[in-house]
């Protein structure tokens, strides 16, 4: 067995096309799996084909090898095409004239496919796709009926008489993970697929674009909410170096306005709808000992099409109210869609395609950037340094959809806890429900802050910043203070951070913590009694979607909860004061706890005296 993928020419299975009319519970379309070509007929339907491509770096990390011989032309270069041959059928539900999920059936294929994990060889030749419990998911079964792989998170589109399941994630089925003795590999990402099914359509129950809920009506109520994030999977790993990751993301338009979802740039020779579109950014954080650190971040993923799932609207370059859209792990890792953050004006949501990363050379507003082939396996993707994953603490993955003029910043972002574990590859535990809102809410609960932790939000009018302060008693009348600053969407960046100290406070162990692990660009600190100030070197100003921490030890248990931040860019206010509620420690070297206790005793004594006086007046009157 070797690593090469062999292709065989597509064979005509029959000289006449066969049509299979299917019914589903909510019939709107009839699926016809035309499993052969009609020679000499201009109206012949194309055969059903499943194209599968495996991520080579993922295979290498798993010590896995693929040997395959396809029987059809693949959808994309690097994929293997497998023709469908059986008379069994797949039916699917289309209440809005577009795919909403499979309801029954299976689809058998021809072609050789062997997958080896170490010494374990899986024969997947002539595999069968069957409908899974999740109606938008398919299971890939071997000839003996064992489920081996999953095809999930598709972007479905009915177009020109065909159903296309695009950008499908290929993952390890739970049964295979158990059989390999690696249950943590359940739903681990292996590659991508495309499924093409010829169909013919009816119009029953269809609500086309431009009517009812599916109208292109744009108002100020633009509100996109993050619904879920998928399993985190490793794409590649450098020993004691970088680890690149990917995951899927599901969102919903919860506002009343339609929102544009166009492509980023026009490719040469092909006209597409280019214009306004949202962006997705991904992060990883670690919390330990009262400190939060952003340990991983991606560049900007440019969205390009909405499938408008879970609603009666067809896929379009608009997402309609109440509709959902999913971008799979394969799409979120594909550098054809990933570009630098500094090209996006996050305050306005604007981005210019001319001269962009995608434009390349020459700058002519046509795509010259070819995606993954011009990058290593880490650039632009969600990347974490391996040593960060080996530290103690709680870990979280976060997704955030940046929508132009979104009315609710915090429901468009969310996170869930992960459990990094290394055994030839990094795994991160099962997917969990997302908690929407700021990651700093994990450090300090805004609804129930402790006596040593407070949090505050500042809307500058140009963008929002959030500050969390956590104080820890080290003993021997020494305290550690952490200031975590999050720049959500302040475009002009932050160049300096300053706090005011109490008179007579001694400071030691001053720290600055950013994401890049490069000590050469750390902010410098100046202790200019009574202020403590950190300043950015050129090139490491605090950008949007970034969290930095500023910390020190002191002999004061209570600290100033306000900080002054200085903007890097010109054109507006030069500095802002951001404040959280004051910290009132239980035991402070400043004596505040003792003061409050004495005050409470004094108030109690006054109450007793007042009660005695009232009792004396009462006896005198009677």
User: For residue 586, what pLDDT is reported?
Assistant: 43
Task: Say which residue, 585 or 443, is predicted with more confidence.
Answer: 443
Tens digits of per-residue pLDDT, 225-263? 999 999 999 999 999 999 999 999 999 999 999 999 999
Looking at 199-302, list the stretches that DSSP marks H as alpha helix, in order from N- to C-terminal side. none
What's the rounded Cα separation, in Å, for the pair 404 and 345? 10
Q: What is the 3-state secondary structure (H, E, C) of 68-128?
A: EEECECCCCCCCEEEEECCCCCEEEECCCCCCCEEEEEEEEECCEEEEEECCEEEECCCCE
Q: What's the rounded Cα separation, in Å, for the pair 4 and 65?
A: 9
Lowest mean pLDDT: which of 4-18, 127-141, 566-580, 586-600? Answer: 4-18
* Domain-wise residue ranges, the chain: 1-206, 208-437, 444-590, 592-622
What is the reported pTM?
0.85
pLDDT at 15 over 60: no
Q: Which two tokens stand for residue 401?
A: 């959809």
DSSP string, 116-183: EETTEEEE-TT-EEEE-SSTT-EEEE-TTS-EEEEEES-EEEEETTEEEEEEEEEEE-HHHHHHTT-G
Say which range, 100-114, 118-132, 220-234, 537-551, has the weakest mean pLDDT: 100-114
Q: What is the largest CA-CA distance in the chain?
A: 118
What is the predicted pLDDT for the residue at 201? Answer: 46
Taking the C-alpha atoms of residue 554 and residue 474, their distance in angstroms, rounded to an integer, is 10
Average pLDDT over residues 12-36: 29
581-609: pLDDT as tens digits: 644 444 433 444 433 344 444 444 444 44
**What is the per-residue pLDDT for 323?**
95
- Tokens representing 509? 């162990």
CA 183 to chain centre: 24
pLDDT at 40: 26
Q: Which CATH number fits domain 444-590: 3.90.470.20, 3.30.70.580, 2.60.40.290, 3.30.420.40?
A: 2.60.40.290
- Strands 300-302 and 324-327, sheet pairing: unpaired
Q: Three-state DSSP class for 251?
A: strand
| pLDDT recorded at residue 602 | 46
Separation of alpha carbons 468 and 291, rounded Å: 10
Q: What percent of the chain has pLDDT over 70?
A: 82
521-547 pLDDT, tens digit each: 999 999 987 899 999 999 999 999 999
Question: Which pLDDT belongs to residue 581?
Answer: 67
pLDDT mean over 78-95: 78
What the block records as the tokens of 9 is 């020419």
pLDDT at 580: 83
Render pLDDT for 448-471 as a digit per residue (tens, 0 to 9). 888 789 999 999 999 999 999 999
Residue 117, pLDDT > 70, answer yes
Query: Whole-angstrom Cα distance, residue 155 to residue 367?
Result: 22
Task: Write out pLDDT tens, residues 44-84.
Answer: 345 799 999 999 999 999 999 999 999 999 999 899 999 99
Q: Is 602 helix (H, G, I), strand (E, B) or coil?
A: helix
pLDDT the model gives residue 574: 93
- Name the pairing type of β-strands 478-487 and 546-554: antiparallel
Contact 418, 233 (CB under 8 A): no
**Residue 371 banded pLDDT, cuts 50, 70, 90:** confident
DSSP string, 475-521: ETTEEEEEEEEEESS-TT-EEEEEEEPPTT--EEEEEEE-SS--GGG
Q: In the prediction, which pLDDT does 254 show?
A: 97
| Phi, then psi, of 175 in degrees rounded to 5 | -65, -40
Mean pLDDT, range 350-358, rounded to an integer: 95
Task: Give residue 529's pLDDT.
Answer: 79
- Looking at residue 14, what is its pLDDT? 32
State the DSSP H helix or E strand holding residue 567, giving kind and residue range, or none if neither.
Answer: strand 562-567
Which token pair is 165? 């399941």
Q: What is the mean pLDDT of residues 395-424?
A: 96
Please give the average per-residue pLDDT across 324-331, as a whole number. 96
Q: In terms of residues, how long is the chain? A: 622
In the block, which residue shows the tokens 């009666």?
312
Average pLDDT over residues 360-375: 87
Burial track 453-468 (b if 16+ CB lie within 10 A, e otherwise) = bbbbbbebebbbbbbb
Going by C-alpha positions, the residue among 298, 171, 180 that lies closest to residue 230 is 171
């Amino acid at each position: 067995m070797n690593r090469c993928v062999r292709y065989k020419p597509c064979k005509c299975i029959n000289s006449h096309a066969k049509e299979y009319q299917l019914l589903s519970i909510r019939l709107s379309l009839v699926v016809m799996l035309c499993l052969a070509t009609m020679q000499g007929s201009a109206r012949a339907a194309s055969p059903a084909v499943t194209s599968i491509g495996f991520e080579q770096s993922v295979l290498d990390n798993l010590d896995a090898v693929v040997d395959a011989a396809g029987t059809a032309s693949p959808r994309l270069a690097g994929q293997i095409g497998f023709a469908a041959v059986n008379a069994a059928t797949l039916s699917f539900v289309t209440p809005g004239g577009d795919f909403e999920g499979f309801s029954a059936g299976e689809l058998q294929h021809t072609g050789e496919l062997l997958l080896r994990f170490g010494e374990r060889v899986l024969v997947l030749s002539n595999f069968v796709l069957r409908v899974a419990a999740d109606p938008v998911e398919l299971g890939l079964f071997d000839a003996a009926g064992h489920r081996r792989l999953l095809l999930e998170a598709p972007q479905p589109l009915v177009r020109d008489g065909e159903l296309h399941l695009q950008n499908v994630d290929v993952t390890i089925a739970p049964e295979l993970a158990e059989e390999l003795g690696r249950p943590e590999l359940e739903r681990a990402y292996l590659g991508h697929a495309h499924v093409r099914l010829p169909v013919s359509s009816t119009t029953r129950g269809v609500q086309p674009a431009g009517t009812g809920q599916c109208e292109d009506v744009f108002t100020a109520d633009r509100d996109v909410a993050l619904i879920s994030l998928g399993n985190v999977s490793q794409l590649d790993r450098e020993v004691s170096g970088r680890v690149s990751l990917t995951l899927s993301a599901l969102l919903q338009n919860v506002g009343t306005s339609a929102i544009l979802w166009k492509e980023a740039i026009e490719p040469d020779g092909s006209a597409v709808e280019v214009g306004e579109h949202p962006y997705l950014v991904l992060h990883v954080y670690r919390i330990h000992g009262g400190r939060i650190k952003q340990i991983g971040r991606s560049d900007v993923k440019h969205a390009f099409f909405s499938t408008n799932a879970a609603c009666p609207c067809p896929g379009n370059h608009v997402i309609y109210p109440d509709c959902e859209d999913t971008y799979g792990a394969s799409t979120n890792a594909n550098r054809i869609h990933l570009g630098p953050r500094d090209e996006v004006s996050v305050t306005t949501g604007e981005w210019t395609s001319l001269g962009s990363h995608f434009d390349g050379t020459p700058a002519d507003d046509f795509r010259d950037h070819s995606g993954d082939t011009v990058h290593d396996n880490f650039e632009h993707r969600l990347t974490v340094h391996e040593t960060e994953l080996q530290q103690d603490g709680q870990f979280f993955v976060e997704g955030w959809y940046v929508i132009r003029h979104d009315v609710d910043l915090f429901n468009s972002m969310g996170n869930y806890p992960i459990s990094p574990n290394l055994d030839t590859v990094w795994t991160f535990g099962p997917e969990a429900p997302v908690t929407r809102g700021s990651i700093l809410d994990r450090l300090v609960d805004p609804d129930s802050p402790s006596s040593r932790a407070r949090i505050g939000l500042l809307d500058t009018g140009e963008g929002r910043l959030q500050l969390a302060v956590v104080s820890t008693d080290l003993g021997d009348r020494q305290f550690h203070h952490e200031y975590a600053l999050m720049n959500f969407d302040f475009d002009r960046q932050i160049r300096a951070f300053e706090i005011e100290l109490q008179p007579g406070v001694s400071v030691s162990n001053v720290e600055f913590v950013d994401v890049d692990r490069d000590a050469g660009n750390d902010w410098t600190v100046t202790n200019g009694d009574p202020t403590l100030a950190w300043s950015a070197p050129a090139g490491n100003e605090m950008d949007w979607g970034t969290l930095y921490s500023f910390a020190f030890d002191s002999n004061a248990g209570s600290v100033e909860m306000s900080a002054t931040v200085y903007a890097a860019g010109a054109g507006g206010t030069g500095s802002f004061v951001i404040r959280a509620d004051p910290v009132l420690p239980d035991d402070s070297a400043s004596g505040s706890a003792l003061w409050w206790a004495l005050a409470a005793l004094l108030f109690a004594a006054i109450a007793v005296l007042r009660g005695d006086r009232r009792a004396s007046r009462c006896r005198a009157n009677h």
